[in-house]
């Protein structure tokens, strides 16, 4: 698999990464740990060197899973994890409250190092911007952790352009992780130009629209009670039906070049900028292989133009998050 550099940082990773959250959290029944260890190791065999986790996924168990799975590949892979919440073990509060106080960042770093079984965290993201803690203090704390050898690179997630600039002035930001796909294009307005100007890489999560852009979901799809898509406005029956035209667009291109919906969605993202590294997640080996096949698809300028023209005529229905979660983004 081809490699890409995240902005000007010099951090080189596979063109596609692997989002590991769904292996432990969020999408219904938690899958078998041994199977997921096998899947992660198969990803390494297929050329993936970039793996994404966070302390709140589970909480804690996803980092443990990733750490165990990648222990044999120390020095060969890049593991990204996140701080910024105070996870609750209670079933009533999955992620807990925002907490980016410097002392908490340090606590998280120490705990994540142990769970990931590494000597230094390759990429340490602030999971969401905490308005109670100046971003300069957050960046300064991570800068200190980098100087101490406990962290290698600093990242932000779902941050706004002004926050990115303020953080970058204190400690260079290697990557921003935010949602970006054919049905979530808000980053194009202000975020992508800011990242390009500052030399920061972009790591789109949910590049397949939480499964919707694969063409395997329609208005009749039922999710398990523990699947968080049940609370997302875009996954109501009406919204799924209204947004189907976007999936149909992907299907037309896919059929023409003998690819899948998912591969076209990922190939489109890869074609946007050379410093974009999507991190699709999966719990199935066949989907892993399918997704990775996107890296060998090069959409022509005519195909990209066709997608652009057609997509511009489609109005996406539904917010990507409920209001209480949406307000944590773009700050």
Task: List, by residue number, the catalytic residues.
Answer: 57
Q: Determine contact, residues 295/270, Cβ cutoff 8 Å.
A: yes
Angle at 255 between CA 4 and CA 222, to 5 degrees: 85
- What is the rounded CA–CA span in Å between residue 298 and residue 130? 39
Q: What is the dihedral of CA 272, 330, 227, 216, to 10 degrees?
A: -20
């Amino acid at each position: 698999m081809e490699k890409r550099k995240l902005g000007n940082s010099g951090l080189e990773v596979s063109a596609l990464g692997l989002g590991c959250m769904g292996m432990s959290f969020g999408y219904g029944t938690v899958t078998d740990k041994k199977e997921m260890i096998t899947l992660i190791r198969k990803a390494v065999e297929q050329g993936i060197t970039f793996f994404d986790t966070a302390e709140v996924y589970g909480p804690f168990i996803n980092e443990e899973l990733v750490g165990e799975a990648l222990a044999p590949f120390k020095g060969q892979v890049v593991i990204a994890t996140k701080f910024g919440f105070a996870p609750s073990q209670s079933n009533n509060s999955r992620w807990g409250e925002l907490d980016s106080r410097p002392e908490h960042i340090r606590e998280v770093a120490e705990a994540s190092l142990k769970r990931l079984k590494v000597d230094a965290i390759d990429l340490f993201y602030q999971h969401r911007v905490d308005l109670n803690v100046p971003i300069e203090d957050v960046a300064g704390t991570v800068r200190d952790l980098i100087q101490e050898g406990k962290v290698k690179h600093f990242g932000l997630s779902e941050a706004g352009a002004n926050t990115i600039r303020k953080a970058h002035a204190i400690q260079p930001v290697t990557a921003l992780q935010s949602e970006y796909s054919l049905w979530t294009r808000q980053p194009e307005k202000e975020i992508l130009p800011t990242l390009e100007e500052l030399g920061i890489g972009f790591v789109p999560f949910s590049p397949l629209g939480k499964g919707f852009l694969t063409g395997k979901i329609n208005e009749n799809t039922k999710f398990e009670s523990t699947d968080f898509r049940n609370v997302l406005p875009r996954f109501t029956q009406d919204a799924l039906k209204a947004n189907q035209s976007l999936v149909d667009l992907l299907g037309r291109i896919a059929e023409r070049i003998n690819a899948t919906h998912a591969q076209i969605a990922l190939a489109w993202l890869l074609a946007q900028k050379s410093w974009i590294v999507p991190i699709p997640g999966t719990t199935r080996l066949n989907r892993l292989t399918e997704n990775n096949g996107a890296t060998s698809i090069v959409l022509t300028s005519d195909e990209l133009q066709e997608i652009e023209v057609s997509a511009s005529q489609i109005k996406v229905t539904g917010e990507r998050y409920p209001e209480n979660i949406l307000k944590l983004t773009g700050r």
